[in-house]
Structure 1
Amino acid sequence: MAVTIKDVAKRAGVSPATVSRVIADNPRISKGTKEKVREAMEFMGYYPNFQARNLVAQKSQTLGIVMENSAVLAFQNPFFPEVLRGISTRAHGSKYGLYLSTGATAEEIYDEVVAMAQGKRVDGIVLLYSKVADPVMEYLRGSGLPFAVVGRPYKDSGTVTYVDNDNVSNAKEVVDYLVGLGHRRIAFVGGARDFVVSIDRMQGYKEALAEHGIPFEPAYTVNEEAIQGAERDSIRKLMELDVPPTAIITHDDLVAYEVISYLEELEIKVPDDVSIVGFNNHTLSGHLKPPLSTVDISIYDLGLHAAELVLEKILDETVPAKRVVVPSRLIERGSCRRL
């Protein structure tokens, strides 16, 4: 026979109503009572029927996770499993499940977000990217559904809750580091120009060059749109300039891996011929030959804080928009050398 709330209440010496409040993690119930009830639940093997409780409360007990690409493409980038690990850790602590977007195109992702919101499939959403003029974010702004963004909203008016790194300062720090090693011909291989993280890192790159009295050279910059489908040729052209760069900053470690492979085909050695720095500090980066210098952006913490922010808004819709900046640090490894 299935164990009931009344059975748990009898063993714990409390009322069934108190057991229900403990299951709901009501803050008015003392820590001692919660521990006593939870011990009784565990001993008796009682598992709350969250589905029935959520139907009454009109809650799904689920967070929606919206990625910039389809799940298949997203999981090819080590950033996403790690940020999801941070989100799931915080969600699990509040007994929340995750609902991942699966759309393969921008239109499908938008339609899925609308379905999440209008179908009450989720109680809140974590948006794992920030783009210029993004219809998904615009829809969420007016939907009334609690949401938080991993990334700085473009032209933010202070109305969107988000968590991010200081990507402008991070890029400036990388340029400062390379200049300190004697480099002045520094290239930047960036991401798509409609992503805010790409905009911010490019801004930091340009500002740092100016501060060091180094002229900005457009030929030293490559972006995702310009090289789509021609990545190898773009790197070859960069290195065949009359005055090629002695150092390359890449949008993230994944791009750095590609660039290094193209350089190897061109018989250009890292760091003997050119130094390279990435972003994100993926696990593999410390095991390359040579190990990749990179900026650790604390991906896990980005996810953890994003989940905290949206759960806070779910519990109290009057909470004002917040901004959380997660610290980053430059990790110096063997892919850079002093000139």
Structure 2
Amino acid sequence: MAVTIKDVAKMAKVAPSTVSRVIANNPRISEKTKQKVREAMEHLGYHPNFIARSLASQSTRAIGLIMPSSTDVVFQNPFFPTVLRGLSEGAHERHYALHMTTGKTDDEIYEGVVQMVQGGRVDGVILLYSKVEDKVLSFLKERDFPFVVIGKPFSDEEEITYVDNNNFRAAKEVTEYLIKLGHKQIAFVGGNLNLTVTVERLLGYEKALRDAGIELVNEYIVHEEFLKEGGQEAVRELISLTKPPTALVVADDLMALGVLNTLDEMGIRVPEDMSIISFNNVLLAEMSRPPLTSVDINIFDLGFESARSLIYRIENPREPVKRIIIPHKIIKRCSCSSPNSEEPLII
């Protein structure tokens, strides 16, 4: 015979309603009572029927995850598995499941979100990106559907709960770091300009150069996809210039790996001939040769705090909009040095 809430309540010597509140992790229940009920559940082998509870409460206890592009491209970048670990842990803490959309085009992703929301499959969604123009975000706002953005919204910032780093400041700091090393010919390798993170980091890079009195060179700004191939394409373009840069600010570690591989093929030494600093501080930054100086943006925390913020908003609809900024830190390794005092780099 299946174990019921009443069986758990009897063993824990509490009311059945108290067991239900413990399962829902109600903050009004003391930790002592929660522990007692959980021990009884474990002893009896009781597992809550979340499907039945969802039907009764009109809640799915599921969160929708919206990717910026097709999953076969997304999962090539270590950023996403790491942020998903944070999201998973934050959701698991409150007994929520994750439901991911898939689609190869923006239109397919949009249709997937519409079906997810209108079909009542999730209680809220998390956008794992922030775009300059995004009809998914507009749809969610119009429906007044609970959502959180990982990244700074391009517009209506005060109306949207989001979790992000201060990307403007981080890019400004890394550019200033290269300037202090003596570099003046500094290029920026960014991602898609429709992504707010790219815009914010580009603005930080430009501000650092202006503050230092260094002329902005349009040819030193290149945009590619956040992939290894994107870094390869970008560095080939930069090295082909009449006056190549001596240092690169690269917006992503995976792109930076592509940069390193291409420079190695060309016989260009890092950091002796070219300094590189990138973002995300994923494992490959530490394992690359040479190890990359990279900005640790605490990817796991971005995911974890996003899940917590969304769930709190789902369970407290009147909760005001929040702006959560996750701290960053430059992790200095071996890919940056003062510029080579020998002849300018010409390939």
* Same fold (TM > 0.5): yes
Does structure 2 retain, via aligned residues, the 8 Å contact 1:151–1:196?
yes
TM-superposed deviation, 1:228: 12
Match of 1:86 in 2: 86
Q: CA deviation at 1:247?
A: 0.3
Mapping of residues 228-307 of structure 1, within 5 Å:
232=232, 234-307=234-307
The equivalent residue for 2:26 is 26
- How many Å apart are 1:243 and its aligned residue? 1.8
The equivalent of 1:7 in structure 2 is 7
Q: Match of 1:112, SS?
A: helix
Are the aligned partners of 2:8 and 2:40 in contact in 1 as well (CA < 8 Å)?
yes
Runs of 5+ unmatched residues, structure 2 = 340-347
1:115 aligned onto 2:108: no
Do the aligned partners of 2:229 and 2:255 also contact (CA within 8 Å) in 1? no
Offset of residue 230 of structure 1:
8.3
Q: 1:233 to 1:283 in 2, by over 3 A?
A: closer
**Cα separation, 2, equivalents of 1:128 and 1:289:** 30
Question: Structure 1: any 5+ residue segments left out of the alignment?
Answer: none
Partner of 2:210: helix, strand, or coil? Answer: helix
Q: 2-side partners of 1:207 and 1:34: how far apart? A: 52
Residue 323 of structure 1 corresponds to 323
Aligned to 1:125: 125
Structure 2 residue aligned with 1:150 = 150
- 3-state SS in 2 of match to 1:248: strand
Aligned residue in 1 for 2:182: 182
Whether 1:71 aligns to 2:52 is: no
Runs (4 or more) in structure 1 with deviation over 6 Å come to 227-231
**Identical pairs, percent:** 50
Measured in 2, the distance between the counterparts of 1:186 and 1:260 equals 16
Shift of 1:233: 5.6
Aligned counterparts of 1:77 and 1:230: Cα–Cα separation in 2: 12
Question: Which piece of structure 1 moves more, 41-50 or 24-33?
Answer: 24-33
Distance 1:53 1:228 in 2: 45
* Aligned-residue offset at 1:80: 0.5
> Does residue 1:219 correspond to 2:236, yes or no?
no
Q: Secondary structure at the match of 2:159?
A: coil
Q: Distance in 1 between matches of 2:330 and 2:29?
A: 45
Task: Using the TM superposition, give the Cα deviation of residue 24 of structure 1 relative to its aligned residue in structure 2, in angstroms.
Answer: 2.3
Check whether the contact 1:70–1:101 (CA below 8 A) recurs between aligned residues: no
Return closer, same or farther for 1:327/1:157 CA change in 2, 3 Å cut-off.
closer
Question: What is the distance in 1 between the residues matched to 2:8 and 2:151?
Answer: 44
* Mean Cα deviation higher: 114-123 or 234-243: 234-243
Instruction: Tell me if the contact between 1:61 and 1:95 (Cα under 8 Å) persists in the aligned partners.
Output: yes
Which residues in structure 2 correspond to 1:135-174 (within 5 Å)?
Answer: 135-174=135-174
In the alignment, which residue of structure 2 is the partner of 1:196?
A: 196
Query: Which residue of 2 is the match for residue 52 of structure 1?
Result: 52
Partners of 2:236 and 2:201 in 1: CA distance: 23
Determine if contact 2:189/2:234 at 8 Å carries over to the other structure: no
CA distance, structure 2, for counterparts of residue 231 and residue 76 of structure 1: 14
Counterpart amino acid of 1:160? I
3-state SS in 2 of match to 1:158: helix
Q: TM-score, normalised by structure 2?
A: 0.93
Equivalent-residue separation in structure 1 for 2:324 and 2:193 (angstroms)? 23
Cα separation, 2, equivalents of 1:229 and 1:76:
11
Aligned-pair distance for 1:12?
1.4
Offset of residue 102 of structure 1: 1.3
C-alpha change, 1:103 and 1:247, in structure 2 (3 Å) is: same
Give the aligned length.
Answer: 338
CA distance in 1, matches of 2:167, 2:300: 17
Q: C-alpha root-mean-square deviation of aligned residues, in Å?
A: 1.7
For 1:337 and 1:114, how far apart are their aligned partners in 2?
50
1:20 is paired with a residue whose SS is helix
Change (3 A) 1:16 1:189: same
- 2-side partners of 1:41 and 1:3: how far apart? 9
Are the counterparts in 2 of residues 236 and 266 from structure 1 also a CA contact under 8 Å?
A: no
Q: Which amino acid aligns with 2:90?
A: R
